[in-house]
Amino acid sequence: MNKLQEMPKIELHVHLDGSMRLETASQWSKESLDVVREKMEAPIDCVDLNNYLTKFSFPLSLLQTKDHLTRVAYELVEDLEKDHVIYAEIRFAPILHTKQGLSLQEVVEAVLDGLKKGRIKCGLLLCLMRNEKEENNRKVIEVAKQYLGKGVVGLDLAGAEGMYPTSNFASLFQEAQKQNIPFTIHAGEADGPSSILSAIQFGAKRLGHGVRIIEDSSLMQLAKKQDITLEICPSSNLQTRIVTNYADHPLFALFNQGLHVTINTDNRTVSNITLTQEYQKLKDAFPFAEEDFKAMNLYAVQASFLPEEEKQQLVEEYLSQWEQYLHIHYSKNN
């Protein structure tokens, strides 16, 4: 087995719909793998985030029943396990799965059922959508509250950041704060530092992507001071043209400047990537030491939305897995 594959990992930013297996989509749609691939994988160079987002309509059309939601959630956990992920926070937007009459509760329960069948620990994040009506997003906050501590660990805000500025969503996150629901916000991807500043002001402790923080050194200082964690997804950023090639990605620079950087896939199918491949690309592009990957994973544990006690257990679990990993790979040669 590939050494990087065996490295223990934490993943905080992975979307359910964008990570649905091609084989499953092909089976349900009765279309060939090639046709399905064309509909679900984004080209290496999309025009922008809006273009990338068109790749979600096909998987979403197949994810409108409880059985399908349960199976896709379970399959994603299996795929995470292959990358030796020991804890993941999986996200999706429940509102997008109610087109054939499921209630928000039924949608969330179906996904939780799938996650529970897997062999690794997972938390679920419910995404509010930038293009949704406020009343619908408020319903999702209510459902998050209902299932908090029962599989749901927090909220997110997703969708076209360039078209619907983060600053528009203050009242939703006031409500989340009031309800004590932790949240992350996609910010600093298609939009720049102002979006990141809004997210931090709303109380987000994590930023989905957040890469464009590199454009503003005072914002970087603020993020460091407040222990803000960046959920970085390099391959996805390449496709949405935030960066033009892997070596230009700011992840390495941000890490070296002391920001809490974590490594994620975003959408395994849309980007045709596994977490192990993402690590490999980073290792090839930058002079990362192995311990740096450990540090980033420990940042991820600290930034997870697990209760404090479970977080401590996860730190111990991670460190023990790390020791085993070192033992397997280095004891033979010494």
**Which range of residues in 55-63, 95-103, 163-171, 261-269 is near Zn ion by CB under 5 A?**
261-269
Closest residue to Zn ion using C-beta atoms: 266
Spatial CB neighbours of 53, under 8 Å, sequence gap ≥ 6: 159, 160
189 is a contact residue toward Zn ion (CB under 5 A): no
Per rule CB under 5 A, count of chain residues that contact Zn ion: 1
Q: Which residue's CB is nearer to Zn ion, number 109 or number 268? A: 268
**Which range of residues in 244-252, 262-270, 276-284, 295-303 is near Zn ion by CB under 5 A?**
262-270
Interface residue with Zn ion among 266, 275, 300, 303 (CB under 5 A) is 266
Tell me the two tokens of residue 193: 């530092």
CB of 204 to Zn ion, least distance (A): 14
Of the candidates 226, 220, 200, 196, the residue with the CA atom closest to the CA atom of residue 209: 196
How far is residue 4 from each of residues 71, 85, 161, 325, 334, measured CA to CA in Å?
Answer: 27, 11, 33, 10, 20
Q: Which residue's CB is nearer to Zn ion, number 83 or number 266? A: 266
CB of 225 to Zn ion, least distance (A): 25
Q: Which residue's CB is nearer to Zn ion, number 160 or number 253? A: 160
Catalytic residue check, 189: yes
Q: Residue type for 192, please?
A: G
Of the candidates 231, 233, 230, 177, the residue with the CA atom closest to the CA atom of residue 201: 177
**What x/- string results for residues 219 through 258 when contact with Zn ion is judged by CB under 5 A?**
----------------------------------------
Strand partners, 14: 90, 266
Q: Which residue's CB is nearer to Zn ion, number 210 or number 250? A: 210
Residue ranges with strand state E in the chain: 9-15, 85-92, 121-129, 152-158, 184-187, 206-209, 229-232, 260-263
Q: Which residue's CB is nearer to Zn ion, number 28 or number 182? A: 182
Spatial CB neighbours of 166, under 8 Å, sequence gap ≥ 6: 157, 185, 187, 191, 194, 195, 198, 199, 202
Active-site option among 11, 109, 189, 278: 189
**Which range of residues in 61-69, 169-177, 220-228, 259-267 is near Zn ion by CB under 5 A?**
259-267
CB of 208 to Zn ion, least distance (A): 5
CB of 75 to Zn ion, least distance (A): 19
In whole angstroms, how large is the CA radius of gyration of the chain? 19
CB of 13 to Zn ion, least distance (A): 6
Q: Which residue's CB is nearer to Zn ion, number 83 or number 109? A: 83
CB of 120 to Zn ion, least distance (A): 20
Q: What 8-state DSSP symbol labels residue 189? A: S
Rounded-to-integer distance, Cα 232 and Cα 209, Å: 5
| Residue 85, number of CB atoms within 10 A of its CB | 22
Residue located via tokens 């062999």: 119
Q: Which residues are catalytically annotated?
A: 189
| Binding-site ranges for Zn ion (CB under 5 A) | 266
